[in-house]
């Protein structure tokens, strides 16, 4: 269930204004999507590097960064970074399942970060950096749960810890500010906090 901190910021009714056009591939970042596309929302720490990981994947139609899993409507980056909104930094991934299957995307997700750290990724500390999978179909939910089980077995064999990743249906995705969209395309030398465990995920 979404987190509802006692002192969550009130937020706002108006979404963050964004260009709506993906800086890298020129596709629309807002629905409706082309026929046949699927959408999944993934949180794996700071969303800058995470978004680049997925826009580079063949079969991904478009990506966008934003906030999800919490209580505050249309939060700002500053509000989310307080940890009080309940939201995680996430990437919306819209993909063509005839080109890339959900298992491949889930394998990328698991291998790109350390899902055993709870409310942090490395030096990025707070619930906004927690590991999270937000699904849009029952098939995605089932696939995500199976992948978590498979990766936990792999991590356990490697002497690693217990996965803390939340898996739940998506309620609402809130776009982050324009400055954060495709950040590493705008700032190629910018910060990327992605650090995996070095353990492969046996799916996809």
Catalytic residues: 46
Q: Supply the DSSP string of 159-184, one letter for each residue.
A: T------EEEE----EEPPGGGTTHH
Strand ranges inside the chain, DSSP E:
38-44, 60-68, 88-95, 120-121, 124-125, 131-135, 166-169, 174-175
Q: How many CA atoms lie within 13 A of 52 on its CB side?
A: 18
Nearest of 100, 199, 202 to residue 158 by alpha carbon? 199
Indicate the helix (H) or strand (E) that contains 143: helix 138-157
């Amino acid at each position: 269930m979404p987190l509802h901190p006692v002192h969550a910021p009130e937020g706002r009714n108006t979404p963050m204004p964004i260009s709506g056009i993906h800086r890298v591939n020129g596709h629309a970042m807002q629905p409706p999507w082309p026929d046949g596309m699927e959408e999944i929302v993934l949180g794996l720490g700071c969303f800058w590097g995470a978004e680049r990981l997925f826009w580079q994947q063949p079969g991904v139609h478009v990506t966008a960064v934003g906030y999800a899993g919490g209580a505050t409507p249309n939060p700002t980056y500053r509000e989310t970074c307080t940890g009080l909104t309940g939201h995680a930094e996430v990437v919306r991934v819209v993909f063509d399942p005839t080109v890339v299957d959900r298992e491949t995307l889930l394998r990328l997700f698991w291998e790109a970060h350390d899902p055993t750290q709870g409310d942090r990724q490395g030096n990025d500390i707070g619930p906004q950096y927690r590991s999270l999978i937000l699904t849009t179909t029952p098939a995605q939910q089932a696939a995500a749960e199976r992948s978590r089980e498979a990766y936990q077995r792999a991590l356990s064999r490697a002497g690693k810890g217990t996965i803390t990743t939340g898996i739940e249906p998506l309620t609402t995705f809130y776009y982050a500010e324009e400055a954060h969209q495709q950040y590493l395309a705008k700032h190629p030398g910018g910060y990327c906090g992605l650090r995996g465990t070095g353990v492969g995920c046996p799916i996809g």
